[in-house]
């Protein structure tokens, strides 16, 4: 038989379930734990962040939508969170963006996540001994951000993937192969995906299929 003790009744006789409920009512049922899952994208993209961020609350800026055509806005808001930042990598999703930048004041590499609900505080990233952050840095004006939506629309067609969908776009230097800036558009599909690399003005440079 399950026995219960009334709160604060030190030394009291244990109560049966029926006696406890008659005196204190039926206890509320326990709530099940919330589901937990991991969401990682394929390819070499950075780890996809769970909805709502990674534990650090975002700033309370007005909510707005973020799409592949909002690269300039994502970059501007991210660099606004860094004292004197210069870009090293920009990753755009249909919903949020991740910006990595070199803080020229501290010399640290920082990552900033921009969501429709606001901008998360910068997170310091390790710098690889193989990389010179200054060699992979670029200014926001080095890329024509307005061409990204057109590249997103045409890439699945140009790859010949009829049921393909663009998962993300990465803008970075093509190191160690060349110092050129590239816009990498990644496509996923049930039968296999691919990507096309474009230069900063939208001219195709190379393509890959899974």
Instruction: Read off the pLDDT of residues 135-174 as tens digits, 9 standing for 90 and up.
Output: 889 999 999 999 999 999 999 999 999 899 999 999 999 8
What residue has token string 């919903």?
A: 95
Q: What percent of the chain has pLDDT over 70?
A: 68
Mean pLDDT across the chain: 79
16: Cα separation from own chain's centroid: 52
Q: What's the pLDDT score for residue 95?
A: 95
Q: Are 158 and 192 in contact (CB under 8 A)?
A: no
Residue whose token pair is 């099940």: 32
pLDDT tens digit sequence for 75-95: 999 999 998 899 999 999 999
144: phi then psi, degrees, rounded to nearest 5: -90, 90
Other Cβ atoms closer than 10 A to 88 = 23
Q: How confident is the model at residue 51 (pLDDT cuts 50, 70, 90)?
A: very low
Contact assessment for residue 91 and residue 114, using Cβ atoms and an 8 Å cutoff = no
CB 136 within 8 A of CB 153: no
pLDDT of 59 over the 90 cut: no
Strand pairing class (3-4; 118-119):
unpaired
CA atoms within 13 A on the CB side of 71: 27
Q: Which residue did the predictor score with more confidence, 113 or 133? A: 113
Asked if 137 contacts 181 with a C-beta cutoff of 8 angstroms, the reply is: no
Model confidence at 25: pLDDT above 80: no
Lowest-pLDDT range, 57-61, 127-131, 142-146, 167-171? 57-61
Contact 112, 81 (CB under 8 A): yes
Lowest mean pLDDT among 27-36, 66-75, 84-93, 106-115: 27-36
Give mean pLDDT, residues 119-131.
84
Q: Structure tokens of 4?
A: 């219960």
For residues 184 and 170, the answer to whether their CB atoms sit within 8 Å is yes
**pTM, rounded to two decimals:** 0.70
Q: Hey, what are 13's tokens?
A: 């006789």
User: What are the Cα distances from residue 174, in Å, to 179, 181, 182, 197?
Assistant: 6, 6, 6, 10
Measure the CA dihedral 194/86/103/39, to 10°. -20
Region 96-112: mean pLDDT is: 93
Q: Any idea of the CA torsion for 86, 91, 194, 201, to the nearest 10 degrees? A: -50
User: Among 23-32, 35-44, 83-92, 111-120, where is mean pLDDT lowest?
Assistant: 35-44
């Amino acid at each position: 038989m399950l026995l219960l003790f009334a709160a604060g009744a030190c030394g009291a006789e244990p109560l049966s379930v029926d006696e406890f409920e008659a005196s204190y009512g039926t206890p509320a049922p326990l709530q099940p734990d919330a589901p937990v899952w991991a969401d990682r994208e394929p390819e070499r993209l950075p780890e996809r962040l769970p909805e709502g961020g990674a534990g650090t609350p975002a700033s309370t800026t007005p909510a707005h939508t973020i799409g592949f055509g909002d690269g300039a806005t994502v970059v501007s808001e991210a660099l606004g969170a860094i004292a004197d930042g210069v870009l090293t990598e920009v990753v755009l999703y249909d919903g949020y963006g991740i910006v990595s930048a070199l803080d020229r004041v501290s010399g640290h590499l920082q990552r900033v996540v921009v969501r429709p609900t606001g901008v998360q505080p910068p997170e310091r990233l390790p710098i690889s001994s193989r990389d010179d952050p200054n060699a992979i840095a670029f200014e926001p004006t080095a890329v024509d951000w307005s061409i990204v939506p057109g590249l997103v629309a045409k890439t699945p067609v140009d790859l010949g993937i009829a049921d393909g969908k663009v998962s993300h776009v990465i803008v970075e230097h093509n190191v160690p192969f060349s110092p050129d800036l590239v816009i990498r558009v990644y496509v996923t599909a049930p039968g296999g995906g691919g990507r096309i690399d474009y230069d900063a003005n939208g001219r195709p440079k190379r393509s890959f299929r899974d």
